[in-house]
Amino acid sequence: MQLAQPITAHALAERLGAQLIGDGSLLVTGLNEIHHVRPGDLCFVDHPKYYATTLASAASVILLDQVRDCPPGKALLIHPEPFRAYNSLVQGARPQVQYEAHEQAAVVGAGTIVAPGAHLGRGVVIGTDCLLEPNCVIGDGCTLGHRVTVSAGAVVGGEAFYFKRTADGLTAWRSGGSVRLEDDVFLGPCCTIARGVSSTTVIGRGSKLDAQVQIGHDCRIGAHVQMAAQVGVAGNCVIGDWSILQGQAGIAQNVTMGERTVIMAQSGVGRDLPPGKSWFGSPVQEARKAFRDMVVLRRLGEKG
């Protein structure tokens, strides 16, 4: 997420009570988690397993819990609880407010129909000729293109299902990202599209999602993708253009699927998949092989 007002590493260290190592004049322009970090961003790390990856990332400023050598051109902020410090920054940039405590400031394009009971959050931008059916929710800062349909009961921009396991239990990681629905997207009833933890969850142009489809945080769904009812896609996945996910297919987190991939009904995907193939089963295998294996298994008990 981008900060409305950039801040120097030195000023941030003073605000958080952190020890500064490196260039204190560096400007922090955004907050990001490691999967989507860019120059100018601050991210955090609190486990030795991920120190090297985070220190070598594009992040300009890094919150961590142990003193380490500062890579050239970066700044380190040493804090005993990096996650808590990071989360406080996100909550400060995107505070929770009472719904009645502010006037909605959504921008709605010409020809768009907003049905009774639909809720538009702060900073929402909606294009022309869209249809928002009763009781749908468009969360703060989300963007809809032109000719988008959001059916009844759908939620666009809910908090990510993202928690930090601590000694006190599971602590919610405040979601600072947003959602973008591009032109001609269709969301069926009761779809749920989680906002990015720190970036933007994207549903690509012309994609159609059936009822009760769940899209996790920071996903990138390509153009003209079809998803049948009850498909579930975990966080940080990439689904290529023109792909088809049949009913109740499940995609594990951090998976990338190439263009024109077909996932058959009730299949489970736990690894990256190349483009242009059909897949079946859980865990998935190429559909032709899966069907051959099924035939062989059925014949095992047959008499010769």
Q: Which H or E element spans position 86?
A: helix 82-93
| Backbone angle region of 290, left / alpha / beta, with phi > 0 → left and psi within -120 to 50 → alpha | alpha
**Catalytic choice (10, 36, 217, 224):** 217
Contact 249, 233 (CB under 8 A): no
- CA 186 → CA 65, 155, 156, 226, 273, distances in Å? 44, 13, 12, 10, 25
- CA 211 → CA 103, 189, 261, distances in Å? 31, 5, 21
Q: Are strands 278-280 and 285-286 parallel, antiparallel or unpaired?
A: antiparallel
Structure tokens, 254: 């951090």
- Helix, strand, coil shares of the chain, percent, nearest 5, are 15, 30, 50
- CA 64 → CA 44, 55, 78, 84, 182, distances in Å? 6, 10, 5, 11, 37
Query: Is 35 known to be catalytic?
Result: no
Q: Looking at the annotation, which residues are catalytic? A: 217
